[in-house]
Amino acid sequence: MQQVLIFATLIVPAVIGLVELVKRTVSVKKNIVPAISFIIGLIIGTAAYPFTDMELVLRLWAGGFAGLSGTGLFELIKKRNGVTK
Protein backbone atom coordinates (compact mmCIF):
# COMPACT_ATOMS: atom_id res chain seq x y z
CA MET A 1 0.00 0.00 0.00
CA GLN A 2 2.91 2.32 0.66
CA GLN A 3 4.06 1.96 -2.96
CA VAL A 4 0.57 2.86 -4.21
CA LEU A 5 0.44 6.03 -2.13
CA ILE A 6 3.94 7.11 -3.14
CA PHE A 7 3.17 6.48 -6.81
CA ALA A 8 -0.15 8.36 -6.51
CA THR A 9 1.70 11.30 -4.97
CA LEU A 10 4.10 11.36 -7.90
CA ILE A 11 1.41 11.37 -10.61
CA VAL A 12 -1.00 13.87 -8.99
CA PRO A 13 0.68 16.91 -10.65
CA ALA A 14 0.34 15.30 -14.09
CA VAL A 15 -3.34 14.53 -13.45
CA ILE A 16 -4.04 18.07 -12.26
CA GLY A 17 -2.27 19.52 -15.29
CA LEU A 18 -4.16 17.37 -17.78
CA VAL A 19 -7.51 18.06 -16.12
CA GLU A 20 -6.79 21.77 -16.28
CA LEU A 21 -5.87 21.40 -19.94
CA VAL A 22 -9.16 19.63 -20.64
CA LYS A 23 -11.12 22.29 -18.73
CA ARG A 24 -9.52 25.11 -20.70
CA THR A 25 -9.78 23.55 -24.15
CA VAL A 26 -13.18 21.85 -24.03
CA SER A 27 -16.40 23.19 -22.58
CA VAL A 28 -17.35 20.64 -19.94
CA LYS A 29 -20.09 20.65 -17.32
CA LYS A 30 -18.61 21.31 -13.88
CA ASN A 31 -20.22 18.26 -12.34
CA ILE A 32 -18.36 16.02 -14.84
CA VAL A 33 -14.87 17.33 -13.98
CA PRO A 34 -14.23 14.90 -11.05
CA ALA A 35 -15.12 11.92 -13.26
CA ILE A 36 -12.77 13.21 -15.97
CA SER A 37 -10.04 13.58 -13.35
CA PHE A 38 -10.60 10.02 -12.15
CA ILE A 39 -10.44 8.63 -15.70
CA ILE A 40 -7.29 10.62 -16.49
CA GLY A 41 -5.73 9.28 -13.28
CA LEU A 42 -6.52 5.71 -14.34
CA ILE A 43 -5.04 6.32 -17.79
CA ILE A 44 -1.83 7.82 -16.40
CA GLY A 45 -1.55 5.00 -13.87
CA THR A 46 -1.87 2.45 -16.65
CA ALA A 47 0.49 4.29 -19.00
CA ALA A 48 3.23 4.43 -16.36
CA TYR A 49 4.14 0.80 -17.03
CA PRO A 50 7.75 1.47 -18.17
CA PHE A 51 8.52 3.58 -15.09
CA THR A 52 7.53 1.15 -12.34
CA ASP A 53 7.55 -2.54 -11.62
CA MET A 54 4.18 -2.48 -9.85
CA GLU A 55 1.36 -4.72 -11.00
CA LEU A 56 -1.41 -3.26 -13.18
CA VAL A 57 -3.97 -3.39 -10.37
CA LEU A 58 -1.73 -1.37 -8.06
CA ARG A 59 -1.03 1.19 -10.77
CA LEU A 60 -4.78 1.52 -11.38
CA TRP A 61 -5.37 2.08 -7.66
CA ALA A 62 -2.65 4.73 -7.60
CA GLY A 63 -4.13 6.40 -10.69
CA GLY A 64 -7.58 6.37 -9.13
CA PHE A 65 -6.27 7.92 -5.93
CA ALA A 66 -4.42 10.56 -7.92
CA GLY A 67 -7.52 11.36 -9.97
CA LEU A 68 -9.72 11.69 -6.91
CA SER A 69 -7.21 13.86 -5.11
CA GLY A 70 -6.75 16.01 -8.21
CA THR A 71 -10.21 17.54 -7.91
CA GLY A 72 -11.05 16.66 -4.38
CA LEU A 73 -13.11 13.69 -3.33
CA PHE A 74 -15.81 15.96 -1.91
CA GLU A 75 -16.63 17.33 -5.36
CA LEU A 76 -17.98 13.96 -6.46
CA ILE A 77 -20.90 14.48 -4.11
CA LYS A 78 -21.25 18.25 -4.33
CA LYS A 79 -23.81 19.51 -6.85
CA ARG A 80 -22.17 21.80 -9.40
CA ASN A 81 -23.94 23.80 -12.08
CA GLY A 82 -22.57 25.53 -15.16
CA VAL A 83 -19.75 24.85 -17.54
CA THR A 84 -15.99 25.30 -17.25
CA LYS A 85 -15.36 27.60 -20.16
Q: Provide the pLDDT confidence category of residue 79 given band limits of 50, 70 and 90.
A: low
Residue 52 lies in a domain: yes
Domain that includes residue 6, residue range: 2-76
Predicted pLDDT at 26: 92
22-74, pLDDT tens digit by residue?
A: 988 998 888 888 899 999 999 999 998 888 888 999 999 999 999 988 877 55
| Number of domains within the chain | 1
Predicted pLDDT at 40: 94
* Cα distances (angstroms) measured from residue 61 to each of 16, 18, 24, 26, 45: 17, 18, 27, 27, 8
Residue 11 lies in a domain: yes
